[in-house]
Structure 1
Amino acid sequence: MIVEVVGGADERPEVRVVDTDDLTRLHLALGQVTDEEADQALRDAGLGRMQDADTGVLDAAALRAAAEPDADVADWAQRWDGMVESARGRGWVSDDGAFLQVHVESAAGA
């Protein structure tokens, strides 16, 4: 699953959740936006925030709510739980389980 922050209409970045059925990976992909623009777009979308240039923090419940309606696999909920548990084992889940820490991939030249 990828959370994208890309340039949108009227120069306002948009947040999209794509590849929702691929729960073997989760990262934040930034298009031609600054870290500050990405942070504001994530906050405005209610999905999370930028921690720094390399790390994002996503609201787990909001991400699930955004992704699950687009899921095409019958066992998506179980795959989601498995992804969260895998992230927890790596220390990428907050103590209360509310937030997921993710790697940021920026577009070349951004």
Structure 2
Amino acid sequence: MIVEVVGGAEERPEVRVVDTDDLSRLHLALGQVTDEEADEVLREAGLGRLQDDGIGVLDTAALRAAAEPDADVADWAERWDRMVEEARSRGWVSEDGATLQVHVEGAAGA
């Protein structure tokens, strides 16, 4: 799963959740936007924020709510739970489970 922040209509960045069925990976991909623009649009969407260089923090419940409606695999919920537990075992989930820490990468074609 990828959370993308890319240039949108009228040069206004937009955020979207793509590859929702691939729960073997999760990262934040930034297109041709500044860190400030990416942070702003993530916060406005309620999906998260940039923490520092190369790290993003995503809201677990908001991400699930954005991704699950687009899921096409029958066992998506179980895959989601496994992904979160794997992230927890690596120390990437907040103590209360509310946020997931993810790596920031460049978006394809950016």
Normalised to the residue count of structure 1, the TM-score between the two structures is: 0.96
Report the counterpart of residue 58 of structure 2 in structure 1.
Answer: 58
Q: Does 1:99 align with 2:102?
A: no
| Long gaps (5+) in structure 1 | none
CA drift of 1:106 comes to 2.3
Q: How many residues align?
A: 109
- Looking at structure 1, the residues matched to 81 and 22 of structure 2 have their Cα atoms a distance apart, in angstroms, of 13
Amino acid at match of 2:56: G
**Other structure's SS at 1:69 match:** helix
RMSD: 1.2
Query: C-alpha distance in 2, partners of 1:45/1:11?
Result: 17
Q: Which runs of 4+ in 1 moved over 2 A?
A: none
Quick one: percent identity of the two aligned structures?
84
Matched residue, 1:68: 68
Deviations 1:23-47 (A, max 9, x none): 0000000000000000001001110
Question: Which stretches in structure 2 are left out of the alignment for 5+ residues?
Answer: none
Residue of structure 1 in register with 2:15 after alignment: 15
> 2:28 matched to 1:28?
yes
Aligned to 1:87: 87
1:48 is displaced (CA, Å) by 0.2
